[in-house]
Structure 1
Amino acid sequence: MRSMTSIRYCAIAIAMVMVMCLCGLLPSAASAAQTAPSAPAAEPDDPAQRPKWEAGLVTGAGRVVDYPGADQSHWRGFAAPLFIYRGPILRVDQDGIRGRLLKTSDIEFDVTGSAAFSARNNDARQGMPPLDYLFGVGPQVIYKGLRKMPGGPDVHLNLRALVSTDFHRTHGRGAEFTPEMRWRFSPVAGLPAAFTVSLQPTWADRTLARYFYQVDASQATPTRPAYDARSGYLGTALNLTLSRRHSQSLSWFATVRSMSLHGAANAASPLLRDKTNVSVGAGLLWTPWQSQARASE
């Protein structure tokens, strides 16, 4: 029993780190990456100066919306081991745990993941099953050709299959398509900081839409009528992240995520109570252990 409990809490800690990493609550790779102790300080955007691996701790806290369209949010906090690896194929960095299958000057193709917190104390869902931790995996195409234009963004195209789990049981939750345009500015006001802006619309299939917004007849109440969820547009998120490193091993980040659900396919669901969601977070990364070897690009 004790070993199962340890496994469960370890899995929860990993899930929290993945959430912060994949939802933009961790800084960009350049800010998280530090040079080796014997190397001179490098510009954050210089891939050749990033250590191949780093290890340390990450801690953070934030107020996060329970689910897209919820009118409640809760404080979340975490502290967990952090490991960053920048191999030629396997990558564990600000873009999650991914395997790069193709890389050219303009295009990358890889497999990546996503994660989201559980929601167990939401008033709108009283008497309904809680929302478990949600994990996704699928292919990603990154197009960098627009960087050649002034202010040009990277374009990320993600298609992911999703599963939910309470670390006892696992259920398939359909799929989502999330294109993203991402801009990154560094330095900021002459400081060794990075400012990242991303715009990310999401489309969900019917299985995922039902997970968030379905109300069966047996779950209906006078204030929560039955509702049959459908596939379609979920919403668009605007993510703003500021990060800065203060030394070769210490950096911080702060982020704001605003999501608009105006025009969402399931706007009529009684569980979609707020069409504008805002989440905030901040944290510290400490990576005292770093490789002398440089990252592969």
Structure 2
Amino acid sequence: MKNTFLRTGLLLACLHPFFSHADSLPKWELGVGLGALSVPDYRGSDQRSGYLFPTPYFVYRGDVIRADRSGMRAALFESDRLEINLSLNATLPGRDNDNSLRRGMEDLRPTMEVGPTADFRLWAASDDRLRMSFRLPVRAAYTVESSPRHIGWLFSPNLLLQLRDPAGMGGWKLGLQGGPVYATRDYNGYLYSVSAADAIAGRPAYAAGSGYAGMQATATLSKRFRHYWLGAFLRYDHLGGAVFADSPLVQRNNALTAGLAFAWVFGTSSQRVDADE
């Protein structure tokens, strides 16, 4: 059950619709659906895992607390050009206990990331169909287990481009996001360091440093129909030039993560609020 919620969190975070035009929308929506994910065991692994799982659909558009397809967050400050919020993110590794390169090493745990994000709304077309934004998220990462551990910090500045009705497809939203990732020594070490006790032939001891951790680019496509919602995403990771690129646990510099979700929305509030979504 715990991993189901983490898979849901990862899927919905990647399906972030970014900024779009303001609408009058129900204050809350409730539904249930099905999600599918294909993920590498970790960034840099050449082995993959696939998941098919039930997923809850819950949207709450409060003045401060908000839960939607971009995850759960608390708005700390908001203006026409800037929003600062406290948000959560989830990271789900593959089934690394079956990963040949990590055999005998501690299993990678799912992680939760929490921290502030500054969203700068840079530009919008006159008809509001196209918007560009710049985000500065800083997050602390924790393992999800009976005794959670703090495993470091992540900083991932990224540029966002969001288009309504792409190619004339009414009601659809296309999102493009990309930027570098930076991480502390502890975070990179959790994924890519090899202790002396874990060193074997072909997997020498290695200590990962802090700094540049590769690039990420994500494309999303979603649509809210009257009684259901559909979304898909594709994320590309490039690890060339990363501070841990020479780790014996890095087998490839490129990786793709893909997801698809469908939700049946069976309940909405009669109260409506104006929301950018």
TM-score by length of 1: 0.86
Residue 173 of structure 1: how far off its partner (Å): 0.5
Q: Which runs of 5+ in 2 are unaligned?
A: none
Contact 2:11 2:37 in 1 (8 A): no
2:124 to 141, 147, 170: 147
CA shift, 1:140, in A, is 0.5
Correspondence for 1:232: 211
Instruction: Quote the offset at 1:148 in angstroms.
Output: 6.0
Q: 5+ unaligned residues in a row in structure 1: which ranges?
A: 1-8, 31-44
How do 1:197-212 residues align onto structure 2 when only pairs under 5 Å count? Answer: 197-212=176-191
Aligned-pair distance for 1:75? 0.4
Residue 178 of structure 1 pairs with residue 156 of structure 2: yes
2:36/2:52 contact within 8 Å kept: yes
Report the TM-score, using the length of structure 2 for normalisation.
0.92
Deviating runs (4+, > 4 A) in structure 1? 148-152
- Equivalent of 2:12, from 2, 21, 24? 21
1:268 to partner: Cα distance: 0.6
1:162 Cα deviation from its structure 2 partner: 0.7
Given candidates 198, 206, 215, the residue that maps to 1:219 is 198
User: Could you tell which deviates more after superposition, 171-180 or 248-257?
Assistant: 248-257
Q: Which residue of 1 aligns with 2:98?
A: 121
Count how many residue pairs are aligned between Structure 1 and Structure 2: 270
Counterpart CA distance in 2 for 1:261 and 1:170 is: 27
Which of 228, 240, 250 is the matching residue for 1:262?
240
CA distance in 2, matches of 1:54, 1:132: 31
Q: Which has the higher strand share?
A: 2
Given that 1:155 and 1:182 are in contact with CA atoms closer than 8 Å, whether structure 2 keeps it comes out as yes
Contact map agreement 2:110 2:144 (CA 8 A) in 1: yes
Considering only aligned residues, what root-mean-square deviation do their CA atoms show, in Å?
1.9
Residue 282 (structure 1) aligned with residue 260 (structure 2): yes
Contact 1:48–1:294 (8 Å) recurs in 2: no
Distance 1:249 1:179 in 2: 35
Q: 1:2-30 deviations in whole A, cap 9, x for unaligned?
A: xxxxxxx2x322212111111x1x36278
Indicate the larger mover: 113-122 or 220-229: 113-122
